[in-house]
Structure 1
Amino acid sequence: MGIQNSIGYYLEPQTVATKKRLKICFAVSALFFIIVAIVIVTLTFTTFKIKDPYVSLRPIGLENFQFFTPNSSIEPLDMLITVVNPNYGSFKSINSVGYLNYRHKVIASAPFEKILIPARGKINMNTTAGIMTKKLMSDPKFWTDIDFGALNLTANVTLPGKVSVIKIFKLKATITISCGIYLNLSAVDADSSCITKIKL
């Protein structure tokens, strides 16, 4: 015999059971999605929280570099850049250009081809800055620094690209790198300190 509902119609037991199963299924599905949402939010603010990469920059071949080049206005300076990615997402950039500055004046540009920095990985990349030696030597303070035996330079580059997390989530991102470079001309050596920021 059927079950009478609130408006006087009778429902068969099979229909009632089906509706109960649907309600249970809906409740379980809703609970599952809530749990997944909580896990995603938790991971976003903990494990997957975006951290700034670590970057080091080092001029190489300083022993062969010539500041005084009467027959040429451009002198190449090779640089080795190491990038350590602490994130669980990889970063892929597009072609860009970096700049080398002396006392707030641009004295060189350096090309940066597209790169892929793997998740929780490390890469080394090379680039060459074509230093405009005539422009450098035209600054009166340059000769004071030469007498002192050291030059302070700054380098900066902006790398636009995309962050990919577990090959599912892809977001536009930009990495900005700013480095202070100390060239010890007396010891033919260099030291640098870099600040890196990633912005989504």
Structure 2
Amino acid sequence: MAKSRRLLKIICAVTAILLIIIIITAVTLYYTLFKPKQPKITTQSVTLDSFSQNLGDITDLNVTLGILVTINNPNYGGFKYGNSTTYLTYRGDLVAEAPITEDSIPARGRHDVSMTVLVIGKRLITNPDFSKDLGTKVLNFTSTTTLKGKAIVLKVFKKKATTYSSCDISINIHYNNATSVCKSKVKF
């Protein structure tokens, strides 16, 4: 009876020590290796696919942008997101929307998202600063995107996550090109 109690105490002590080691290892891995990191969103190209204006009717304006964005996921977990929309604003006024279809970004992977954005001319020209900007041949836009989804680590742990991206896009009409700078963050 005394031997079985002693054996039971030893088994409980060893189990407790192993459990503590496993918990410490898991917490250490989470805060070092698996700690969520910000994705890096890079605009590979913004092309001015078309810019046309009917001289007879100033409200007949067509601007089409082609945007290719690369999302680098530095995390050890994938990110699966649902359908979303990119919004394009000109000096605070919404001038275009582009749908983004649901997809996933693999762990430590790279994902390209391409879209074509048709700017609504009537919304653009009603802005009081449009004629001044058109005279300088440079139009400045801001695109914002919110992707809601789940971060998946080791195909077991799932955590809701939302990525926010904002890009400042400058279009030079004279040279028919565009440049952009993007910022992003993730909220878990």
Q: Which moved more, 1:104-113 or 1:186-195?
A: 186-195
* Cα contact 1:79–1:127 (8 A) shared by 2: yes
Match of 1:32 among 6, 14, 18: 18
Distance in 1 separating the partners of 2:172 and 2:25: 51
Q: Which has the higher contact order (CA 8 A, sep 6+)?
A: 2
Match of 1:102 among 67, 90, 100: 90
Tell me what 2:46 maps to: 59
Q: Which structure 2 residues correspond to residues 77-92 of structure 1 after superposition, within 5 A?
A: 77-92=65-80
Q: Which moved more, 1:174-183 or 1:41-50?
A: 41-50
Q: 1:67 to 1:133 in 2, by over 3 A?
A: farther
Letter in 2 for 1:59: V
Distance in 2 separating the partners of 1:59 and 1:197: 21
Task: Give TM-score scaled by structure 2 length.
Answer: 0.90
How far did 1:120 drift? 0.7
Match of 2:155 among 160, 167, 173: 167
Please give the secondary structure, in 2, of the residue aligned with 1:66.
strand
State the superposition RMSD in angstroms.
1.8
Deviation string for 1:103-141 (max 9, x for gaps)? 000000010111101111101111222210121122231
How far did 1:98 drift? 1.2
Whether 1:141 and 2:126 are equivalent positions in the alignment is no
How many pairs were matched up?
Answer: 184
Distance in 2 separating the partners of 1:43 and 1:186: 53
Tell me what 1:43 maps to: 29
Tell me what 2:106 maps to: 118
Same amino acid, percent of matched pairs? 39
Task: Please identify which structure carries the higher strand content.
Answer: 2
Deviation string for 1:81-117 (max 9, x for gaps)? 1100111111000001110000000000010111101
How far did 1:73 drift? 6.5
Q: Which moved more, 1:94-103 or 1:72-81?
A: 72-81
Distance in 1 separating the partners of 2:157 and 2:79: 12
Q: 1:148 to 1:72 in 2, by over 3 A?
A: closer
Task: Give TM-score scaled by structure 1 length.
Answer: 0.85
Q: Which runs of 5+ in 1 are unaligned?
A: 1-14
Match of 2:53 among 42, 57, 68: 68
Distance in 1 separating the partners of 2:21 and 2:152: 23
* Cα contact 1:183–1:189 (8 A) shared by 2: yes
Match of 1:150 among 138, 142, 150: 138
Letter in 1 for 2:11: C
Letter in 2 for 1:66: F
How far did 1:77 drift? 2.4
